[in-house]
Chain A
Amino acid sequence: MDEQELIAALRSRDPAAVQELVETCGQRLLRSAFLLCGNETEAQDLVQDTFVQAFQSIGRFGGRSSVYTWLHAILLNLSRHYHRDRKRIVCDDELARRDVPLPEEGPLPLDAGLASSVLTEALGRLSVPHREVLILRFYEDMKIHEIASQLGISCGTVKSRLHYAIAEMQKLLPGELNLFGAHGTKETERR
């Protein structure tokens, strides 16, 4: 079923179309949601809410973007609500997280699992706008103008946020992980 047929089927609440959409986009959305919120349980809930909201507002989908891009825009919106609510309600968790030092001191084994968790941890310390551009650029592989369109900001703002986000990640990530090669963080150069 191509996208047009899929949309028509979704508008008539065809369960087979729902199943197809969840199967084709669910996994990718979940991973993006996890990078956005840093919590697997919340990411699952965000994806579920994304699908429910998408099906409820399927009449608004004008077909100007791909279905996945449209779903991802809903996910971004929901994740912003998640971050806002989290700021309002849960403070202890965030404070506790700040107290956990990133493994900046001492040598680290270059274990992929550890590198991933450190990367996710550092990502969680970025502001939401900086995190969004990094994920859209390097996980969703979007071009600058596509990110601008998705976030409703200018291309210049996207590039500026990317520069700041990359610089911030370079400061947060330990040099031993060698994520940025020979031209890595200032810490790496000093050592």
Chain B
Amino acid sequence: MNCPQFQDLLFEYLEGSLAPAIRDSADAHLSSCPACRQAVRQQTQIARSFSRGFQQAAQTLALRPDIQRRVLAALQAEPVPPPGQAGVLAWWQRLVWPVAITAALLLGTALMTGVPFSSRVSVIPPVRLARRDAPAPTPVSIRLSYCVPTYTFRQNGNTVIDSLTCNPRVVDQTIWLSSK
């Protein structure tokens, strides 16, 4: 481990959350690096100072006695959700806006292009039914490009992060046309 690598892990080193192998490597680096030992001492001092300072700054505060009463009063004004429904309802409530936005985007795309989800058609020749006495049909290649919207959700702690991605797809097809 070198100095930049150690500095990058300094906070984790101080909080003791490094994996044992990385911790050993960090200890080995510290034993031979006075600058990083100094950084550890300094950060330890800073942490102690902030911790003590914050505790002192807030230690005289006391919760107002009426807060508990106010909270209870606010709760009594709320209807109790039926058991078993609260979680499901909350889950759906969280989806309302993302689903609404997706629907609006899809609708907008459909209205702008005229064809839902298809963005471009490079060749669309008029297709005619082949007659029995007509010459052999000729092949025509067409390329169809379109976008597939994908809406994903992931949870990061107490936050639900949603993202909309558009995956382009290209399809090559051959259709057979008969000439006049």
Specify whether A and B are partners. Answer: yes
What is the CB-to-nearest-CB distance from B5 to chain A, in angstroms, rounded to a whole number?
13
> Which of B12, B17, B54, B61 is in CB contact (< 8 Å) with A43?
B61
B67 located at the interface, meaning its Cβ lies under 8 Å from any Cβ of chain A in the complex: yes
Q: What chain A residues lie within 8 Å of B159 (beta carbons)?
A: 152
Could you list which residues of chain A lie within 8 angstroms of chain B, going by C-beta atoms? 11-13, 15, 18-19, 22-23, 26-27, 30-32, 34-35, 40, 43-44, 47-48, 51-52, 55-60, 62, 65, 70, 73, 112-113, 115-117, 119-120, 134-135, 137-139, 141, 143-145, 148-152, 159, 162, 166, 169, 179-181, 183
B48: shortest Cβ distance to chain A, in Å?
9
Say how far A119's CB is from chain B's closest CB, in angstroms. Answer: 4
CB contact under 8 A between A180 and B78, given known A35-B58, A51-B67 = no
User: Is there contact, CB below 8 Å, between A59 and B90?
Assistant: yes
- Check A183–B64 contact: CB distance below 8 A: no
- Bound-state CA distance A146–B156 (Å) is 11
**Which of B8, B49, B58, B156 is within 8 Å of A149, CB to CB?**
B156
Residues of B within 8 A of A59 (CB): 81, 85-87, 89-90
Residue pair A51, B12 in contact (C-beta under 8 Å): no
Enumerate 21 A-B pairs (CB-CB under 8 Å) in ascending A order: A15-B72, A18-B71, A19-B68, A22-B71, A27-B63, A55-B71, A57-B90, A60-B86, A60-B90, A112-B56, A115-B56, A137-B50, A138-B50, A138-B54, A143-B17, A151-B157, A152-B158, A159-B11, A180-B45, A183-B41, A183-B45
CB-defined interface of B39-65 with A at 8 Å, one 1/0 digit per residue?
001100111011101111111011110
Chain A nearest CB, measured from B69 CB (Å): 10
Q: How many A-B residue pairs have CB under 8 A?
A: 146
User: Chain A interface secondary structure, helix, strand, loop or mixed?
Assistant: helix
Does B83 lie within 8 Å of A11, measured CB to CB? yes
Which residues from chain B sit less than 8 Å from chain A, CB to CB? 8, 11-12, 15, 17, 38, 41-42, 45-47, 49-51, 53-59, 61-64, 67-68, 70-72, 74-76, 78, 80-81, 83, 85-87, 89-90, 94, 156-159, 161
CA distance A43 to B62 in the complex (A): 11
CA distance A87 to B161 in the complex (A): 26
A151→B156 CA distance, assembly (Å): 9
Q: Which residues of A contact B85 (CB under 8 A)?
A: 59
Q: A138-B50, A183-B38, A183-B42 are in contact. Are A117 and B63 (CB under 8 A)?
A: no
Instruction: For the complex, give the distance between the alpha carbons of A183 and B35 in Å.
Output: 13
Residues of B within 8 Å of A30, CB to CB, are 58, 61-63
